[in-house]
Chain A
């Protein structure tokens, strides 16, 4: 029997049990739709973060310490101050490196602009003016004096009257220290929409954290450094040299804990790392959603077995008039594959729809996970074959003599 013929006969049989066929495919639809939805959301999330960053590449990298979390996926930043003044000087001496700016975190409790207060939220960093070498200033310029500060756009927007250059901010640190600073400039957000509000002050005036080096001297140390090069092409060789120094000669290598890892990351590396993490999460959630698909295929198998039992007599008739085992098997397999394919096509459509609604609500860009759409269709066919195989085999095995006696 040719395929067209079995398609026709199987399709008719599906249509003659509309409600049953619909309910059966819903299992597959839910499974596929769930997977596709999560893929769209994952893609949209990545796009929303990475899309902004990729727009402009700056010739800078961040030296920081990472560790793997005890549970779950991803990476954790370690805030231990291990990069000493000596490390900063050594890195600055590398040929391709233009500047090294420390990033010393300060614990800012409260920020006042006139009568308006913002508690917490703002991340305060002690750094040097070099850090802004490649930054784009929305207004103003890097700090020069010791009572000046640079903020980013996010911080500026935290206040009702956006903070602008020349405004006076009163800072209160966690340890009770206070300081009044003048905003010298506002920089563009480094990581697009996702950038946290930041405030930068001169390291010499505000940063006091010190560690004892292996050589026994007390020196300032920072949890991370910003390393800049002159041109974008210098980043790669500089990154190599920085990494080499950190691993071989740095104080940081001595000071860090064994399970901590030092990294010189370019913006590109950060994006890649971030994308990897989101991808892992997306696949993990998708795998959970795929359980629905397994349930769905059991549904198809179940209904096909019922269908074979119901049609025992018809199988007998077909065999009496010349149908081979293969013909019977083909009929039932085609039927279950049709159910699987319809399920996956509707599932993909529903998944894209639900995903679209999701990214729209979250204001992320829409992502079309084309590879997953293809996978979903292939899986749909696979589900049809796998769940139809046993019922079809049972149908093919029906003894026509018995079947025709079947009332």
Chain B
């Protein structure tokens, strides 16, 4: 993390990104959004349902490709990548945390954590060590061999967070991570995110709860696929970084670029 106003490199950038679904008539789920997430930033995305939050997440998470505009993750434009290359990018640069945890039901906590490593041939022995270390970090050092069904909701989400960190990703994407948790457990999970961010992890959080979104440094407000407003929260710890890290430009038709 860079301090004192020095320019930071962008982990993820989106430039005039549009995602159109061809239904009865074309629907622009994301309609010309530009933003840049600096290394080590903590950003929340808020908006009513249908505002394009999930679509934006999918684009940044390399699960989807933009219809127009350009998304880069760690400097790579995802529109130009093949399916397999995007899968690799997801495996190495992105860590996902979902509302419904999405753990593999038959794998133990440790195996779930190291699942991303399985798909690029990491040695089995070092994997277990990695799992131990990560579960320790999220406070589950004693739950390595438990399967998801033997864990509470909060514990499951911690396993999911540990999994998101397994590959040392450029960005952790959290989609309503507290949505299935009670307030107290949710707060604990958000504390963990804040702690990870302080240690240098870049986080993009989607939430419709103001209370949750306020853990972030900036809140991006989406309405109908447009970027309505970027709110910079006055958290004293890294205001400078925040301002440096996140810039937004309103879309203009002339500026729209298309990825090949």
Say yes or no for B63: interface residue by CB 8 A criterion: yes
B103 contacts which chain A residues (CB < 8 A)? 317
B120 contacts which chain A residues (CB < 8 A)? 1, 322
Check A322–B88 contact: CB distance below 8 A: yes
Say yes or no for A5: interface residue by CB 8 A criterion: yes
Say yes or no for B74: interface residue by CB 8 A criterion: no
Q: Could you tell me the distance in whole angstroms from the C-beta of A406 to the nearest C-beta in chain B? A: 10
Interface-forming stretch among A121-129, A216-224, A324-332? A324-332
Say yes or no for B83: interface residue by CB 8 A criterion: yes
Check B92–A322 contact: CB distance below 8 A: yes
A318 contacts which chain B residues (CB < 8 A)? 104, 115, 119
In the complex, chain A residues 282-340 whose Cβ is within 8 Å of any chain B Cβ: 313-314, 316-327
A6's closest neighbor in chain B, by CB? B118
Q: Give A29 to B64 CA distance when docked, in angstroms.
A: 44
Q: Give A320 to B87 CA distance when docked, in angstroms.
A: 7
In the complex, chain B residues 152-185 whose Cβ is within 8 Å of any chain A Cβ: 163, 167
Interface string of B46-69 (1 = CB under 8 A from A): 000000000000100101100000
B58's closest neighbor in chain A, by CB? A401
Q: Give A316 to B83 CA distance when docked, in angstroms.
A: 14
B90 contacts which chain A residues (CB < 8 A)? 319-322
Q: Give A400 to B87 CA distance when docked, in angstroms.
A: 10
B163's closest neighbor in chain A, by CB? A321
B98 contacts which chain A residues (CB < 8 A)? 404
CB contact under 8 A between A320 and B84, given known A1-B118, A2-B121: no
Say yes or no for A243: interface residue by CB 8 A criterion: no
Say yes or no for A275: interface residue by CB 8 A criterion: no
Say yes or no for B215: interface residue by CB 8 A criterion: no
Q: Give A319 to B84 CA distance when docked, in angstroms.
A: 10
Q: Could you tell me the distance in whole angstroms from the C-beta of B173 to the nearest C-beta in chain A? A: 9
CB contact under 8 A between A320 and B121, given known A16-B106, A401-B58: no
Q: Give A317 to B103 CA distance when docked, in angstroms.
A: 7
B101's closest neighbor in chain A, by CB? A317
Interface range on chain A (Cβ under 8 Å from partner): 20 to 34
B92 contacts which chain A residues (CB < 8 A)? 322
Q: Give A323 to B98 CA distance when docked, in angstroms.
A: 17
Say yes or no for A231: interface residue by CB 8 A criterion: no
Say yes or no for B91: interface residue by CB 8 A criterion: yes
Q: Give A318 to B105 CA distance when docked, in angstroms.
A: 12
Say yes or no for A182: interface residue by CB 8 A criterion: no
Say yes or no for A172: interface residue by CB 8 A criterion: no
Check A321–B106 contact: CB distance below 8 A: no
Check B118–A324 contact: CB distance below 8 A: no
In the complex, chain A residues 324-369 whose Cβ is within 8 Å of any chain B Cβ: 324-327
Q: Give A106 to B87 CA distance when docked, in angstroms.
A: 86
A316's closest neighbor in chain B, by CB? B102
Q: Give A22 to B165 CA distance when docked, in angstroms.
A: 38
Check A320–B96 contact: CB distance below 8 A: yes
CB contact under 8 A between A314 and B104, given known A322-B88, A324-B84, A326-B84: yes
Q: Give A125 to B91 CA distance when docked, in angstroms.
A: 87
Check B118–A404 contact: CB distance below 8 A: no
Say yes or no for B40: interface residue by CB 8 A criterion: no
Q: Which of A9, A324, A326, A401 contacts B63 (CB 8 A)?
A: A401
Interface string of A41-63 (1 = CB under 8 A from B): 00000000000000000000000
With most chain A CB atoms within 10 A of its CB, the pick from B64, B116, B119, B121 is: B119
Q: Give A324 to B86 CA distance when docked, in angstroms.
A: 8
Q: Could you tell me the distance in whole angstroms from the C-beta of A76 to the nearest C-beta in chain B? A: 64
B104 contacts which chain A residues (CB < 8 A)? 314, 317-318
B87 contacts which chain A residues (CB < 8 A)? 319, 322-325, 327
Check A12–B84 contact: CB distance below 8 A: no
Q: Give A400 to B61 CA distance when docked, in angstroms.
A: 11
A319 contacts which chain B residues (CB < 8 A)? 63, 87, 90
CB contact under 8 A between A322 and B116, given known A2-B121, A12-B106: yes
Q: Give A5 to B103 CA distance when docked, in angstroms.
A: 18
With most chain A CB atoms within 10 A of its CB, the pick from B61, B98, B102, B105 is: B102
Say yes or no for A13: interface residue by CB 8 A criterion: yes
In the complex, chain B residues 66-117 whose Cβ is within 8 Å of any chain A Cβ: 83-84, 87-88, 90-92, 96, 98, 102-106, 115-116
A12 contacts which chain B residues (CB < 8 A)? 106
Q: Give A5 to B119 CA distance when docked, in angstroms.
A: 9
Q: Could you tell me the distance in whole angstroms from the C-beta of B83 to the nearest C-beta in chain A? A: 6
Q: Could you tell me the distance in whole angstroms from the C-beta of B105 to the nearest C-beta in chain A? A: 8
Q: Please name 27 pairs of A and B residues whose Cβ atoms are closer than 8 Å in the assembled complex, sorted by A.
A: A1-B118, A1-B119, A1-B120, A1-B121, A2-B121, A314-B104, A314-B105, A316-B102, A317-B103, A318-B119, A320-B63, A320-B90, A320-B96, A320-B102, A321-B90, A321-B115, A321-B119, A321-B163, A322-B88, A322-B90, A322-B92, A323-B91, A323-B119, A324-B83, A400-B63, A401-B58, A401-B63
Q: 7 closest pairs, A vs B, by CB?
A: A322-B91, A321-B116, A324-B87, A324-B84, A322-B119, A323-B119, A317-B102
